Structure 1
Amino acid sequence: MKKVFMLSIIACFLMALEIGTIPKRVVLEKDKGGTIDGSPFDTASMKGKVYLVIYSDPDKRDLNEPFFEKVKAKNFDRNRYTSIAIINMAATWIPNFLLNAILKAKQKKYPYTVYVKDNKKVLVHAWQLPDNDQVVMIFDQNGRVQYIGHGKLSQKEQERALHILEELINESH
């Protein structure tokens, strides 16, 4: 247990994302990825609203489902809030045709979420995110990181993240 805890702490320090900073700009397009419809995705576009960004290994897609359901239940104002799910397509053995079917099902369940594919682990390298895991990030309306959590969020971390989301959304009007 201590070893897992220490590895989690070390992994947090290795992340290039720091609270209060604007992360390095990344564009996912062509063979690197993009949105489900094939359009490019530019992280610089994450401004003007509060963003909940999930970077996930497809094998971990349901890891924080209870948290996502809590967020969905809040029915946040879409003029002030957007959610983005970035899928680490290279982190799994699941074939792309099956992943695409899973993403389409998720899109139906969460119609206001923007789904993005990272085909080459671009964000793992650019932002030094943990690979083969799920990372939950919250960005303020200026594009600054306000929360980072990874792995299965504890009840306490879910409450903390939800509180940060609510505060940022309330501040944004």
Structure 2
Amino acid sequence: MPNNQTKGIYRHISRVSQKFGEIRFITEGLYDTLQVSALSRDTDTGIQYLYYASTRPSKPGERHIYKVLITSTNTKTTPECLTCDLGDKCLHNSAYFSHNAKYYVLECNGPLNPKIELRRTDDNGLVVTLHNNDRLSDMLSNKLLPKIEKMVVPINGNNLSVMLYMPPGFRKDEIVKYPLLIQVF
């Protein structure tokens, strides 16, 4: 559901009271929630966690997996990012949860070598690496790849995140013309 923030409108997860029609946002901030992945409930304690995919504030090109405690008292809780500490190799992630949400398959889709792992939700511990794409890494090690430069461009009072893919061997000090392709998303 769209949520007005101080610097724009962002998509967030909300809870609507059936009795009163009140809207309570479970997530809020200067980022977009992209997908609800799972809801877990401990049958002994009644504790519920919601798992979802989201961008990060000031980093709209990244996609991470979060979990947040759902309370019956409508108390705000701080989401925990499950993939933010995996480093620069895992900045675009997807997750697929078991039926009871005790485990999840993490697809780390880069920006470099993609990998697939099985992880626990209670402590985010790695159970096993299902696929690490070592062959792909070996093949790419012999190839010239574009240089990627990230920057923020101010336009009309807004800051736009930009990624430039430059040809291998590109030098900014040379006077050479290259074609430019712009993709807006």
TM tier, smaller:
under 0.3
**Structure number with larger C-alpha Rg:** 2
Given the two structures, how large is their TM-score scaled by the length of structure 1? 0.27
TM-score by length of 2: 0.26
Q: Which has the higher contact order (CA 8 A, sep 6+)?
A: 1
Q: Which has the higher strand share?
A: 2
Where is the helix percentage greater, Structure 1 or Structure 2?
Answer: 1
